């Protein structure tokens, strides 16, 4: 705005501009979400791509997800053993590894790792398609780009994040168990006793609810920033960075939200 | 197109642009880079919406069409992008087949035959399995044209179809353009900077300048235009514009 050039007004101008950008982004996000829901009807466009996306988002993410959770499980067991001293029974190591992996670290750390791998990849791919007019080309060929590009990715995220996170939790617990019996001088029965002691079936439900919401956030945010990319290579880089930053923040916010709402 | 206005932020690109294209004609739109030619073309197919004014195709207001109406419109329109906009994760054959897969009741054999026919029309052979990244710029551009004509559109919109091509390929594209019009009655709108090509293929030529229609007429009328801006452009002589705002 030409009138707001006085240095004293600069902070107000910045706040105003940021507010407008936020409102615009919320509007665009809502529009994209509504369009994606509407595009669900075009099953002939999105259904053929769902398996490919499930592979790329789910199966191809397993190495990084399992790597993160395995080392988390190892560290958890070692730190639990270090912390639980004095009169605390040793089998609480199993309790701590199990509860923490299922309720918190399995879903959140895997979600964050996938925000980097999956969210960045979606934003970069769609962003490149946007700046090279491939998304416009889809429209001219009578394809709904939301049905072709967004629906299969989001659907694959919703389906595969719980699978990846469930496997990550399992590997984390197994890594904690192997660490306990090999490095902590603890027997398997003790670890399993601790694991079972405070186990509640709802913990798994809680983890899966979080996983589905993380899948939605990572694929949805990646699609949003990719779809609204402007500029060339720099724009794609910016969209990718924003997708990772925003989905990381939303994962942490959702994590707190689910804990407050369900526990 | 009637009194179309379009701005991006504070920058006004189209400032009341109006143009009528008759069925079966080829109209070339010329104008300086950045004058809004591509933006104008994208309004016709609903890739952009005007801030003011209206665009009608076959009597229908493009801005008022819903998703299925737009899909219907786009089935009748082929669009040749300036940089081809081929899907880089697909082979050339898959690219050309994309539009055909949206046609109900067309089986794989028919699609395959049509893909080969369209590729040979633009002088591309044995590229079916190649990816866009494995081909030259000119070949990619021709593949983009093959994709646009594959569905047998009623209208063809070309965004600089011959820019960057060698003179022989330019003639191939021009011949194809004329053939589409004469044999199939296709209506074409061609954005071009290549005046030789514009003279060869056009029934009429329009010049877009600073967001408005500067001149429109038959090839002869444009050739003989006394407007210094038109003369400067078609003759490539900036000195004719000296002193003009």
- Asked whether residue A103 is domain-assigned, the answer is yes
pLDDT of residue B159: 94
Closest residue on chain B to A44 (Cα): B102
Other CB atoms closer than 10 Å to residue B56's CB: what's the count? 14
Q: How many CB pairs lie under 8 A apart between chains A and B?
A: 52
Kindly determine whether residue B78 and residue A140, on different chains, have CB atoms separated by under 8 Å.
yes
The whole-number average pLDDT for the span A96-124 is 97
- Asked whether residue A1 is domain-assigned, the answer is no
pLDDT of residue A4: 53
**The CATH number of the domain covering residues in B2-76+154-241:** 3.40.50.300
Chain A contacts to B (CB-CB under 8 A): 38, 129, 132-134, 136-144
Residue A1: pLDDT band (50, 70, 90) is: very low
Residue A57: pLDDT band (50, 70, 90) is: very high
Q: To which residue do tokens 């398609």 refer?
A: A129
- Regions of chain B short of the pLDDT cut 50: none
pLDDT of residue B244: 64
Q: To which residue do tokens 């609204």 refer?
A: A228
Closest residue on chain A to B48 (Cα): A136
> Do the beta carbons of residue A57 and residue A118 sit within 8 Å?
yes
pLDDT tens digits for range A146-162: 999 999 999 999 999 99
Nearest Cα residue to A26 out of A238, A250, A252, A234: A250
pLDDT of residue A5: 64
How many domains does the structure of chain A reveal?
Answer: 1
**Complex prediction ipTM:** 0.90
pLDDT tens digits for range A118-144: 999 999 999 999 999 999 999 999 999
- Asked whether residue A78 is domain-assigned, the answer is yes
> Do the beta carbons of residue A103 and residue A203 sit within 8 Å?
yes
Would you call A200 helix, strand, or coil by DSSP? coil
pLDDT tens digits for range B129-156: 999 999 998 899 999 999 999 999 999 9
Q: Evaluate the CA torsion angle B43, B48, B54, B59 in order and state its sign.
A: positive
Which residues in B26-134 belong to E strands, given as ranges? 26-30, 52-54, 56-57, 60-61, 77-80
Kindly determine whether residue A38 and residue B67, on different chains, have CB atoms separated by under 8 Å.
yes
pLDDT of residue B17: 92
- Asked whether residue A2 is domain-assigned, the answer is no
Length of chain B: 245
| CA–CA dist B42, A29 (Å, integer) | 23
List residues bridging with B159 in a β-sheet.
B191
pLDDT tens digits for range A58-73: 999 999 999 999 999 9
Closest residue to A134, CB basis, from B70, B78, B85: B85
> Do the beta carbons of residue A154 and residue A220 sit within 8 Å?
yes
Between the alpha carbon of residue A258 and those of residues A4, A36, A112, A253, the distances in Å are: 42, 25, 16, 9
| CA–CA dist A123, B119 (Å, integer) | 32
pLDDT of residue B243: 64
- Asked whether residue A97 is domain-assigned, the answer is yes
Q: Evaluate the CA torsion angle A59, A65, A67, A70 in order and state its sign.
A: negative
pLDDT tens digits for range A167-220: 999 999 999 999 999 999 899 999 999 999 989 999 999 999 999 999 999 999
Here the tokens at position A32 are: 């994209």
| CA–CA dist A108, A111 (Å, integer) | 5
A9-23, A116-130, A234-248, B15-29: range with lowest mean pLDDT: A9-23
- Asked whether residue A26 is domain-assigned, the answer is yes
pLDDT of residue B84: 93
| Domain enclosing residue A101, as ranges | 7-262
Name chain B contacts of A133, Cβ cutoff 8 Å.
81-83, 85
Here the tokens at position A76 are: 């958890």
Q: Where in chain B is the domain with CATH 3.40.50.300?
A: 2-76+154-241
């Amino acid at each position: 705005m030409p009138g707001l050039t006085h240095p004293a007004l600069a902070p107000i101008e910045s706040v105003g501009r940021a507010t407008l950008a936020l409102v615009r982004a919320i509007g665009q996000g809502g529009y994209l979400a509504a369009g994606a829901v509407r595009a669900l009807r075009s099953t002939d466009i999105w259904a053929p791509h769902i398996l490919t996306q499930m592979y790329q988002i789910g199966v191809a993410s397993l190495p990084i997800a399992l790597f993160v959770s395995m080392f988390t499980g190892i560290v958890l067991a070692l730190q639990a053993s270090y912390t639980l001293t004095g009169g605390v029974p040793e089998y609480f190591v199993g309790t701590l590894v199990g509860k923490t992996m299922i309720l918190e670290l399995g879903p959140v750390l895997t979600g964050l790792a996938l925000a980097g791998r999956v969210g960045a990849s979606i934003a970069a791919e769609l962003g490149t398609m946007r700046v090279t007019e491939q998304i416009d080309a889809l429209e001219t060929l009578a394809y709904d780009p939301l049905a072709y590009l967004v629906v299969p990715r989001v659907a694959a995220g919703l389906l595969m994040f719980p699978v990846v996170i469930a496997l990550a939790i399992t590997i984390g617990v197994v890594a904690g168990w192997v660490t306990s019996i090999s490095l902590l001088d603890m027997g398997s029965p003790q670890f399993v006793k601790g694991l079972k002691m405070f186990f509640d079936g709802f913990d798994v439900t809680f983890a899966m609810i979080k996983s589905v919401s993380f899948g939605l956030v990572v694929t949805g945010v990646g699609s949003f920033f990719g779809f609204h990319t402007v500029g060339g290579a720099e724009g794609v880089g910016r969209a990718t960075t924003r997708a990772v930053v925003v989905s990381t923040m939303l994962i942490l916010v959702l994590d707190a939200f689910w804990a407050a709402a369900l526990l | 197109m009637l009194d179309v206005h379009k701005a991006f932020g504070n920058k006004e690109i189209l400032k009341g642009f109006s143009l009528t294209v008759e069925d079966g004609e080829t109209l070339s739109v010329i104008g300086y880079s950045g004058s809004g030619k591509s933006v104008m073309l994208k309004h016709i197919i609903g890739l952009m919406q005007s801030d003011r004014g209206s665009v009608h195709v076959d009597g229908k207001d493009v801005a008022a069409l819903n998703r299925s109406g737009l899909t219907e419109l786009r089935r009748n329109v082929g669009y040749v992008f300036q940089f081809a906009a081929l899907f880089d994760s697909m082979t050339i054959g898959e690219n050309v087949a994309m539009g055909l897969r949206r046609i109900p009741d067309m089986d794989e054999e028919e699609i395959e035959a049509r893909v080969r026919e369209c590729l040979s029309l633009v002088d591309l052979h044995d590229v079916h399995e190649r990816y866009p990244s494995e081909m030259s710029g000119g070949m990619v551009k021709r593949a983009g044209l093959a994709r646009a004509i594959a569905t047998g559109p009623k209208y063809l919109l070309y965004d600089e179809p011959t820019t960057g091509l060698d003179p022989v390929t330019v003639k191939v594209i021009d011949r194809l353009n004329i053939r589409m019009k004469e044999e199939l009655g296709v209506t074409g709108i061609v954005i071009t900077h290549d005046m030789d090509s514009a003279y060869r293929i056009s029934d009429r030529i329009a010049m877009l300048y600073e967001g408005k229609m500067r001149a429109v007429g038959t090839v002869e009328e444009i050739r003989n235009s006394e407007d210094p801006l038109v003369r400067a452009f078609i003759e490539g002589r900036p000195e004719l514009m000296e002193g003009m705002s």
